[in-house]
Amino acid sequence: MTLLKKLATAAVALGLASSAMAQDTTKVGFIYVGPVGDGGWTYEHEQGRLALEEHFGDKVETVFQESVPEGADAERAITQMALNGADLIFTTSFGFMEPTLAVAKKFPDVKFEHATGFKTLPNVSTYSARFYEGRAVQGHIAGKMTESNIIGYIASFPIPEVIRGINSAYIHAKKVNPDVEFKIIWAYTWFDPAKEADAATALIEQGADVILQHTDSTAPQAAAEKAGDVITFGQASDMGEYAPLPRVSSIIDNWAPYYIERTQAVMDGTWESEQTWDGIGPGMVGIGEITDAVPADVKTEALALKEAMAKGEYHPFTGPLKKQDGSDWLAEGEVADDGTLLGMDFYVEGISGEIPN
Amino acid sequence: MDLGSINPVLLLASLMVAATPILIAALGELVAERAGVLNLGVEGMMITGAICGFAAAVNTGSPLVGFIAAALGGAGLSLLFAFLTQIALANQVASGLALTLFGLGLSALLGQGYQGIKPPPTGKLDIPLLGDIPGLGPVLFGHDIMVYFGLGLCAAVWGMLKYTRAGLILRAVGENHDAAHALGYKVVRVRILAILFGGACAGLGGAYISLIRVPQWTEGMTAGAGWIALALVVFASWKAGRVLLGAWLFGGVTVLQLNLQAAGSALPVEYLSMSPYLITILVLVIMSADKPRAPASLGRIFHASQ
């Protein structure tokens, strides 16, 4: 009897020990839309994952799956990760929104973080960066530097995040150059280097001498370099290998601090569903070095603009602004609220063309 | 809409560039399928060719060496498929899919350290007098050498299949491998050669993307071009001329729709975006009203004992 008791106690102790050991490491999963070597969007998320591993050492175990298509297959990939014991899963593309919510309902104990989305659950947070602040800087430089007054824009999907970027860049290009015109191509892909290069080439052939991109690979940079006399901006990552020309600056996503903070919250048991949307100020959005190809005065103005946004003195969407159809949006001095920005589905006045549905 | 901003000469030049990788890869697959082998690994062989060619071109400074390495890389990977399906008699569909997955992984591994590097530029064929003919010159004579290689390859494959003894044997093997075997043809040897040819072509197509069309290396950069090539072979009813037409249509409409978007076309973007697939399939399906059929032994396993 005593022996049995002892055995039972030992078993319970063992069980406790093993569960305690399991709690020691937090398993964090990442779902990527492109390959980790895309040189842009997914690359920066991967850098965040590596920083997370370095910060916590043995206390975290990270797993990732790359090139997960947006859609039904994403649900399978996320489910698999949850089944394999992940405590926290970051799904890093807009198109993973519905799959993330669907899986989150089935795994209430697992925490989910969806990038760039707007729907939450008690165990689903969203996080995104105010990329449009970086777009304002790009628009300023683009408007100043274009000689043909035609700026080409490679857009991915017609979602609010992309539309915000177009509007922000346009507003600030127009401000410094009233003759500026935007030509926009919807590539309907986040990652397809050949198509991105073709889109850049088409824009350049139609007279664009500045290319802005909202797709993930460095292909447009290569196409611009091949064409010559065209400037570009790094997207999501510095893309510094194309500096000083064609890449004259960049928007850099910095996810590492956020990933570390949220993983810490899961470890401490303080994780709660939140909607995080940080910009240049908190450091989630960085502006890559502005190269010497940009005239010194333009560079100074661009940096001043960046500084004003970082301090919160200036908001890229400040009135007076009208919508594309001519109706009033923001009155003089009025600043856009986050709700409108998060659901943005209209162009500002002056941009031609329609947003696809 | 400002259609005037579209330059037809530049558009045609871009069309050729967009069509060439799928044309070359599809011609390779066409030969393999006419020999009765269904190799679904085109995407994997293309991406392997893309990195092999890129690495070789960067290290030697010669695009020509790059393309040769790409052909060897693609053929090397296809050798694995040949071994699995012709010697080990494995299922062709499963082996082909595995080959694509393997190729994607292998290329990502080989490509470590090649991101952000610029390949040596491939020269354009500049024929002094012909290239200067206004309009016609740049359209016909202003391309890189691989565009002409693709066209030449198309003519060669067509001529080989139609007029030569080798083409006849290849088709016999693809139509009825038992009969071909009974006549004394080496079915397995013919098929292995066809697979190697398909691999080499896929590799060249991939290298065209990494060395000329995009010029850079990025993981997964073929992004489905191999599957398009594969589909093209079927829709082109296993005929070289129609593969060329299909590749031009697909490449052409892809480039055209991007140009129409940039020019501010009134057509909704959604329709423009799907137009390359729709138009290519539609045209080729209408053309195949003459009821073509697949090579009769396509995808079937052959063993001399049966």
Query: Does position B122 have pLDDT exceeding 60, yes or no?
Result: yes
Chain A environment of B7 (Cβ under 8 Å): 205-206
Nearest to A185 among B213, B225, B261 (CB): B261
Mean pLDDT confidence for A199-204 = 93
Q: What is the largest CA-CA distance in chain A?
A: 92
Chain A environment of B15 (Cβ under 8 Å): none
- State the smallest CA–CA distance between residue A33 and chain B in angstroms: 12
CATH topology of domain B3-114+138-288: ABC transporter involved in vitamin B12 uptake, BtuC (1.10.3470)
- Residue-range domain boundaries for chain B: 3-114+138-288
- What's the pLDDT at A31? 96
Mean pLDDT confidence for A6-32 = 62
Q: Which of A195, A324, A351, A352 to mutate to test the interface with B (most CBs of B within 10 A)?
A: A195
**B11-64 pLDDT per residue, tens:** 888 888 889 999 999 999 999 999 999 999 999 999 999 999 999 999 999 999
Q: Do B222 and A194 touch (CB under 8 A)?
A: yes
Q: Between the CA of residue B104 and those of A117, A195, B19, B50, B228, what are the distances in Å?
A: 29, 19, 22, 11, 16
Any residues with CB less than 8 A from the CB of B56 and at least 6 apart, and which? Answer: B65, B66, B68, B69, B70
Mean pLDDT confidence for A54-60 = 93
**Least confident stretch, A195-209, A212-226, A253-267, B123-137:** B123-137
- State the smallest CA–CA distance between residue B81 and chain A in angstroms: 24
Q: In this predicted model, which residue has the larger pLDDT, A289 or B280?
A: A289
Mean pLDDT confidence for B114-124 = 79
Chain B environment of A353 (Cβ under 8 Å): 264
> Alpha-carbon Rg of chain A, whole angstroms?
23
Distance, in Å, from the CA atom of A184 to the CA atom of A209, rounded to the nearest integer, reads 13
8 Å CB contact between A51 and A256: yes
- What's the pLDDT at A13? 46
Distance, in Å, from the CA atom of A139 to the CA atom of A165, rounded to the nearest integer, reads 10
Most confident stretch, B201-215, B261-275, B281-295: B201-215
Any residues with CB less than 8 A from the CB of B279 and at least 6 apart, and which? Answer: B249, B253
Instruction: List the A60-65 sheet strands across, edge first.
Output: A60-65, A26-31, A88-91, A111-115, A124-129, A275-278
Q: Is the dihedral of CA A95, A98, A102, A108 positive or negative?
A: positive
Mean pLDDT confidence for B286-300 = 82
B49 and chain A: CB distance < 8 Å anywhere?
no
Distance, in Å, from the CA atom of A200 to the CA atom of A189, rounded to the nearest integer, reads 14
- What's the pLDDT at A32? 95
Query: Does position A12 have pLDDT exceeding 50, yes or no?
Result: no
Q: Please give the ipTM for the structure prediction.
A: 0.82
- What's the pLDDT at A16? 43
- What's the pLDDT at A226? 85
Q: Is the dihedral of CA A157, B281, B143, B2 positive or negative?
A: negative
Q: Is the dihedral of CA A18, A23, A24, A25 positive or negative?
A: positive
Q: Is the dihedral of CA B31, B140, B225, B56 positive or negative?
A: positive
DSSP state, residue B212: I
Chain B environment of A183 (Cβ under 8 Å): 262-264
Query: Does position A203 have pLDDT exceeding 80, yes or no?
Result: yes
> How do strand A60-65 and strand A88-91 relate by DSSP bridges?
unpaired
Mean pLDDT confidence for B281-298 = 82
Most confident stretch, A14-23, A134-143, B132-141: A134-143
Q: Between the CA of residue A147 and those of A232, A308, B242, B262, what are the distances in Å?
A: 14, 27, 44, 18
A contact residues 309-348, partner B, Cβ 8 Å cutoff:
none
> How do strand A181-186 and strand A111-115 relate by DSSP bridges?
unpaired
Mean pLDDT confidence for A218-247 = 89
- State the smallest CA–CA distance between residue A206 and chain B in angstroms: 5
- State the smallest CA–CA distance between residue A31 and chain B in angstroms: 16
pTM as predicted = 0.83
Q: Angle CA(A238)–CA(A239)–CA(A240) in degrees, nearest 5?
A: 85
Q: Angle CA(B176)–CA(B179)–CA(B184) in degrees, nearest 5?
A: 125
Q: In this predicted model, which residue has the larger pLDDT, B286 or B306?
A: B286
Query: Does position A27 have pLDDT exceeding 50, yes or no?
Result: yes
Looking at every residue in chain B, the average pLDDT score rounds to: 88
**A302-357 pLDDT per residue, tens:** 999 999 999 999 999 998 999 999 999 999 989 999 889 988 999 999 998 888 87
- What's the pLDDT at A7? 47
The pLDDT-based confidence of A21 (bands split at 50, 70, 90) is very low
Distance, in Å, from the CA atom of A263 to the CA atom of A267, rounded to the nearest integer, reads 6
Per DSSP, the residues of A133-185 read HHHHHHHHHHHHH-SSSEEEEEE-S-SHHHHHHHHHHHHHHHHH-TT-EEEEE
DSSP state, residue A348: B
Q: Do A199 and B258 touch (CB under 8 A)?
A: yes
8 Å CB contact between B103 and B81: no
Q: Is the dihedral of CA B255, A159, A35, A76 positive or negative?
A: negative
Question: What are A114's two structure tokens?
Answer: 């969806």
Nearest to B258 among A38, A39, A185 (CB): A185
B113 and chain A: CB distance < 8 Å anywhere?
no
Q: In this predicted model, which residue has the larger pLDDT, A182 or B305?
A: A182
- What's the pLDDT at A17? 43
A168 and chain B: CB distance < 8 Å anywhere?
no
Chain B environment of A201 (Cβ under 8 Å): 14
Nearest to A202 among B117, B222, B258 (CB): B258
Looking at every residue in chain A, the average pLDDT score rounds to: 89
- What's the pLDDT at B67? 95
Q: Do A353 and B264 touch (CB under 8 A)?
A: yes
B270 and chain A: CB distance < 8 Å anywhere?
yes
The pLDDT-based confidence of B3 (bands split at 50, 70, 90) is low
| Strand-pair partners of B217 | none
The pLDDT-based confidence of B131 (bands split at 50, 70, 90) is low
8 Å CB contact between B178 and B303: no
> What's the gap between Cα A88 and its chain centre?
19
- What's the pLDDT at A181? 94
Mean pLDDT confidence for B129-145 = 71
Mean pLDDT confidence for A17-40 = 77
Mean pLDDT confidence for B3-8 = 72
A234 and chain B: CB distance < 8 Å anywhere?
no
**Least confident stretch, A137-146, B76-85, B219-228, B288-297:** B288-297
**What 3 state SS string does B97-122 have?**
HHHHHHHHHHHHHHCCCCCCCCCCCC
A225 and chain B: CB distance < 8 Å anywhere?
yes
